[in-house]
Structures are given as C-alpha cells and as structure tokens.
Structure 1
Amino acid sequence: MPYDFAWLDLVAFVWFIAGWTGFTIIQDHLMSGRRMVNQHLKIIRRHWMERMLERDNRIMDSQLLGHTMHSCTFFASTNMLVLAGLVGSFGAIEHAHDLVLSLSFTVKTSRQLFEIKMVTLVVIFTFGFFKFTWALRQYNYCCALIGAAPLPPLPPEELRPTADTIAQALTLAIAALNGGMRAYYFALAVLAWIVGPILFMLATTAVIVVLTRRQAFSPTEKVIRVQMARLERSQSTKPQ
C-alpha cells in the first residue's frame, strides 16, 4: 500500500463502491413497481411485445430493436477506445504523473497511488466492456425470440405470457446496457480522485444525485409514467 494512501482516500473509495453498488441494487432489483423510468419501461415493453404479437408485419419492431443494438455497439466500441488509451498511458505513466503533479489544484500523490487510480479506471471500463458485450449477446437472444414468435391471431391466454417472456428478455438486455452506461458516469467520479479524495466523494454523490433525478424526478419520468398509466387503463378496459 502506498505510504500516502490516507484514511480519507479509503473513505472516499468505500463511499464510491457503496454508492455505485447501492444505486445499482436499488435501481435494478428493489424498485419494482415504484416511480422510476426503468420500472415504467418494463411495463411499456410488455405492451410493445403484445402489439408486436398482434401484427403480421414486424418490420417496425425489428428496426426499433436494431436501433438499440446499434447504440450498444457504439458504446462497446467507444469503451474499447477508452481502454486502449488508458492502457497505453501506462507506457508514459511517469510523464503523466509529473503532469498531474504540476497542476496547482491537485493533491500531491506518489506514483504508486497515481497508478492505483489509473488501474481503477481501467477496471471500471473493463467492467463496462463486459456489460456492453453481454447486452449485445442478450439482444441477439431477443432477436431469436421475436423471430420465433407465433403469428396472429393468438388466444388471449397465450398472448400475454408470450409477450411477458419476450419483454423480460429485452429488459435483461437493456439492464446490461444500462449497467455499462452507468460505468461511464462513475468513471467520471474516479477522475475527480486525481484532484483529491474530497472531490472524489463529492463527484460520486453528484453522479448518484444526477442519476436518481433522471430516473425518478425528471420531466421524462413524468411523461413516461403518464403514458404507462394510459396503456394500463386501455388494457383494463379492453374486452377479453
């Protein structure tokens, strides 16, 4: 352990891990049915799959799925570029360390601690790469499920369970994509660690606040929630 790895650095790092892990668990596993964009979209995707099963022509559905797959491919490719840049920086780590030390607003750290901070960034973007590639694999599985979906008309007792299954598979793919994108946000917080541990904690808190606001208190959440409620009401009044 570097001699200048202070208790404040440890507190900041623990806060970072706890914040990222806690936000992910709450967002992806403990907020079912609550006021969150991702939870609303789970229901909307089920309605989408129900409409898909009612259509003979599913070109539009394949185009929509392809759009999200292209977004995932873009982030995976960008992630590889960032990783290549970070790994390449280790070839000039001494120069990078001297450059950071020359800045007036950074906390002076040893080269060993600076390397730990850089390795942390590499680990985060590696995690993001695995998330993006896993999301792409799951999107391919969704393509198979949609391609094998039965043609209309489907009996009501078969339509809803089939739509639920495909929608759940699509939600798992999107959850992996969201996990990779989340890594980008928290990597920005780690960049603040280069300046100092206090800014690291503040940046981690800011990332959590921003993500929470977008998920639960943004105008986008309100619009999606209203449309979700409208779809649920229309389904409840639809003759069986």
Structure 2
Amino acid sequence: MNNILSFISLYDWIALIWFAICWIGYALFAQVKARTKPTLASSLSNVRGLWMSRIFSREVRIADVTALGILQRNVTFFASTTIFILAGLLTVLGATDQIVQLTNTLPFIVENTRASWEVKLLVLIFIFVYAFFKFAWSVRQYNFAIVLLSAAPTNDCSENDKTLFVINANEVLTRANNSFAHGLRAYSFAMAILGWFVHPVLFMVSALWVVLVLHRREFHSNTLIALRQASKLAQ
C-alpha cells in the first residue's frame, strides 16, 4: 500500500482528491439543483417535447430524421476523436522516459518522476475511456430515437397514443443528450488535468475553474435564456 501511495507526492494526492471532489461534487450539485432551477438540459427537453408533438402534422418526416442524424453525427465525431486521443496518450505513455527528461529541464514545470508522470497519464486515459463509453452510448440512443421517430404514429391516432409517444420519444432523446453532455463534461475536466503536469496547485485551480465555467453555462448562460424564451414563444 505504501508503495502505491509513494508513486506521487502528497501534494499530488491532495490535488487528485480535490479534482475528484470537484467533478463528483458538481455532478451531484447540478443534479439536485436541476430539480428546482431551469437548466440547459431541462430547457432543451421542453423544446424537444414541442418538436415531437408537432411531427404528427407532417406526413413526410425526412427533415426530422435528418435533424436527428446530424445530432448523432456530432456525437460520433467526439467518439472518434476520443479514440485518437487515447491512441496518442498510449503512445506518450510508451515514451515516458524521454518526456520526463525533457519536461524536467523546463523551469516552470514541477519536477516529475517516471511514476508520477505515468499516474497522471493513466488518469487522463481513464477519463477519456469514460468519455468514449458515454459518447458510444449516446450514439446508440440516437439510433433508437431515429427508429422510434420513423415509427411514429400518424395524425389520426388517439390523443393518448400521441401523448405516450411524445413522452417516451423525448425520454430517449433526453437520455441520449445527457450521455453526450457527460462525455463533454469529462473533456472539460480532462483539460484541467493538463495543469497537473505543470504544478499540483495549478491543477486544483484549473479544476475549480472548470466547475465555475460549467455552472455558469448550465444555469446562467445567455443560451439558457434564449432557449427558455424560444420555448415559451413556440408553445
């Protein structure tokens, strides 16, 4: 156990624990606050509900399927990009000795050992693996949504059938969007880890900065205001 703890310094452990607190803490905070405050996710869900409720009036739904396909391709792009990032990180992991020697000569970077550098890279790899699975699951859910939309009931069906379709289709799309958002959140926190290679304090500050940026965008952004106003006008 002591050998494992000695891979990185005490300051690195403190910074890593702080990073975990920031990520997990913000995720829990956002989930709880979303129950009482409007968010990007909830506002977008309202707009999607309006979208799903209006497809019954369109006999030709090519535009709707195309729109979902565009959303799916956006997620696919990030999933593919994550694979390339993981390949690059694994390549860097195999050249640790040369990189440690190079970075230790830079005056503004804290001195790293081979073990500490590998731990930092492994944390980055873990985050991008997590992001990839989120993106991959989001792509699958968008696939389900496209099939669901193609099988949507016609306009002459009962109001109960229409309501059930709107609720369930919106639920699938919401889950797909949430998986995508979680993958993007992982990307944001991965950017904070770059500061860890410079200094643990910079890592801690970067993690806090990411939390503040995510909070502002989710709960106080101009995009949120625009979505809420647009959804009210569309009703």
Letter in 1 for 2:118: E
Structure 1 residue 59: Cα displacement: 0.9
| Corresponding residue for residue 61 of structure 1 | 64
Identity of aligned residues (%): 33
Alignment partners' CA distance in 2, 1:28 and 1:48? 25
| Corresponding residue for residue 101 of structure 1 | 104
1:21 to 21, 24, 29: 24
| Corresponding residue for residue 155 of structure 1 | 158
Aligned pairs, number = 232
Alignment partners' CA distance in 2, 1:82 and 1:146? 33
Instruction: Write the deviation string for residues 133-190 of structure 1: whole angstroms up to 9, x where unpaired.
Output: 1111111111121121111133323222210100010110111111111111111111
Alignment partners' CA distance in 1, 2:29 and 2:158? 36
1:179 to 169, 174, 182: 182
Instruction: Write the deviation string for residues 197-226 of structure 1: whole angstroms up to 9, x where unpaired.
Output: 111110001111111111111111111111
With 219-228 and 31-40 compared, the bigger mean Cα shift is at 31-40
Q: Are the aligned partners of 2:7 and 2:119 in contact in 1 as well (CA < 8 Å)?
A: no
In structure 2, runs of 5+ residues without a counterpart are none
Distance 1:28 1:166, change over 3 A: farther
| Corresponding residue for residue 35 of structure 2 | 32
Moved over 2 A (4+): 1-8, 22-30, 153-158, 228-231
| Corresponding residue for residue 238 of structure 1 | none
Alignment partners' CA distance in 2, 1:189 and 1:157? 48
Q: Are the aligned partners of 1:106 and 1:196 in contact in 2 as well (CA < 8 Å)?
A: yes
Alignment partners' CA distance in 1, 2:20 and 2:222? 29
| Corresponding residue for residue 84 of structure 2 | 81
Instruction: Write the deviation string for residues 214-240 of structure 1: whole angstroms up to 9, x where unpaired.
Output: 111111111111122334xx3xxxxxx
1:77 counterpart SS class: helix
| Corresponding residue for residue 6 of structure 1 | 9
Alignment partners' CA distance in 2, 1:108 and 1:2? 18
1:153 counterpart SS class: coil
Structure 1 residue 4: Cα displacement: 6.7
Alignment partners' CA distance in 1, 2:229 and 2:66? 25
Alignment partners' CA distance in 1, 2:86 and 2:191? 14
Letter in 2 for 1:40: S
1:92 to 92, 95, 110: 95
Instruction: Write the deviation string for residues 82-120 of structure 1: whole angstroms up to 9, x where unpaired.
Output: 000000112211011112212111111221111100110
The TM-score, its normalising length taken from structure 2, stands at: 0.93
| Corresponding residue for residue 237 of structure 1 | none
| Corresponding residue for residue 135 of structure 1 | 138
In structure 1, runs of 5+ residues without a counterpart are 235-240
Letter in 2 for 1:105: F
Alignment partners' CA distance in 2, 1:158 and 1:54? 14
Alignment partners' CA distance in 2, 1:90 and 1:189? 19
2:95 counterpart SS class: helix
Structure 1 residue 49: Cα displacement: 0.6
| Corresponding residue for residue 170 of structure 2 | 167
Alignment partners' CA distance in 2, 1:54 and 1:17? 48
Q: Determine whether 1:196 maps to 2:192.
A: no
| Corresponding residue for residue 71 of structure 1 | 74
> What is the CA RMSD across the aligned residues, in angstroms?
1.6
Alignment partners' CA distance in 2, 1:210 and 1:132? 21
| Corresponding residue for residue 55 of structure 2 | 52
With 120-129 and 26-35 compared, the bigger mean Cα shift is at 26-35
